[in-house]
Amino acid sequence: MMSFSGLALSLSALLALVPVGLVRVETRRALWLALAVAIAGPAVWLFDNFADGWRTGFTTALWLAILVSMAIFAGLVAFVRGAAKLAPLLAAYLVGLAAIGTIWQHAPERPLVGQPPEAFLIAHVLVALVAYGLTTLAAIAGLGVFLQERAIKAKRPTEFTRRLPSIAEGETLLANLLMASGAVLAFALISGGVLSWFTFEAQVKIDHKTILSLITFVAIAALLYVHRRGGISGRRAARYVLFAYLLLTLAYPGVKFVTDVVLP
């Protein structure tokens, strides 16, 4: 059973994500304040939970993904035009992840297998998290394009869709985020192979996580190739990106959920 203090900390971190989805992107000062709060909430949760050492559980994986996704989003807001308009969709999704993490916070954790070098393990985890964060944002951009095209086709734009990036902005964000996520995912796969080599005594273990990650990388690469040749855009591209993101989600938090929650 989770303690009252643990539940209170999780709920506080969850609520810290909410203002990002509510603030108007035109009010830049308020947006940056909301982003700072949204980053601080998960960071405090993780700092508290890592105080006693390295954690490998399902809830920890979710909060790490939330923190990295929000931090990357803050970088996009600073340097990429139109990125801030993804805030409502991203905040809603990350609040959902935080709610799942809070519900399953009591799930037991499985210890690390083998004795991989700690520095290399941390580096691999960081690279994998950045790849997942970038793919998360690409999926959010794709979902934004899908919603915008559907609203325009139905001639029923809503207050929510008006806050999202335009189709052109969304497609540009989608393509750039896919290129970045594909590149970082390639590094994550390479570092994962090296880590497996250390962990399993000069052998590379091919498991569900590795297979799903490889399929995701191939899907992203194929989508980028077709997109560059002008063969796919808009809602079709969004669907493929969401499918690729589903695969990567199954590979990362999905595997954690099965090992820590379904099969404790």
**How many residues does this entry show for the chain?**
264
Percent of the chain clearing pLDDT 70 (strictly above): 80
Where do the H-state alpha helices sit in the chain? 4-22, 28-49, 58-79, 87-103, 118-154, 159-162, 167-199, 208-228, 234-249, 255-257
Alpha carbons 190 and 95: distance in angstroms, whole number: 31
What pLDDT does 1 receive?
44
Looking at the predicted structure, is the pLDDT value of residue 199 above 80? no
- Write out pLDDT tens, residues 85-125: 999 999 999 999 999 888 877 766 665 555 666 777 788 88
Contact between 18 and 34 under an 8 Å Cβ cutoff? The reply is no
Tokens of 58: 């399902």
- Write out pLDDT tens, residues 132-181: 999 999 999 999 998 998 888 888 888 888 889 988 898 889 889 989 99
What pLDDT does 120 receive?
73
Indicate the pLDDT class of residue 77, thresholds 50, 70 and 90.
very high
DSSP reduced 3-state for 50: coil
Question: Quick one: which of 46, 54, 41 has its CA closest to 15?
Answer: 41
Q: Angle at the Cα of 210 (from 256 to 188), degrees rounded to 5?
A: 95
Contact between 131 and 177 under an 8 Å Cβ cutoff? The reply is no
What pLDDT does 180 receive?
93
